[in-house]
Amino acid sequence: MIVKIVVVFALVVAGLAVAQREHAFQKWGIVGTCEGVRAPGGDSGAWYACREGLLTGYPTLIGDECTFEARSPGVEYWRCPVRLDRFAAGT
């Protein structure tokens, strides 16, 4: 009985680790995520489109010194003074 519990636990942990590494929670829409978008003409800042997650809602970029600019259905737009490394792949 203990062996089965340990095996199931190990499989769950391994599954969560793979899902995190592959960004599965973002792809499935469980947690919110942002991606870089083109800035409006004449703006030198970095802009991000953030999508709402089922469990987490919209990500906030306030801690990165970014400002909320607009919301359209399902997307919030943020302007940051510099490019954010954690979203570099999306820009």
- Could you list the pLDDT tens digit for every one of the 91 residues in the chain? 888 888 888 878 876 766 566 566 666 667 788 999 998 888 888 999 999 888 888 988 998 999 999 998 889 999 999 988 877 654 3
Task: Kindly report the pTM of this predicted structure.
Answer: 0.67
- Residue 61 tokens, joined: 């970029």
What amino acid occupies position 88?
A: A
Burial class (CB within 10 angstroms; exposed 0-12, middle 13-18, buried 19+) of 12: exposed
What amino acid occupies position 50?
A: C
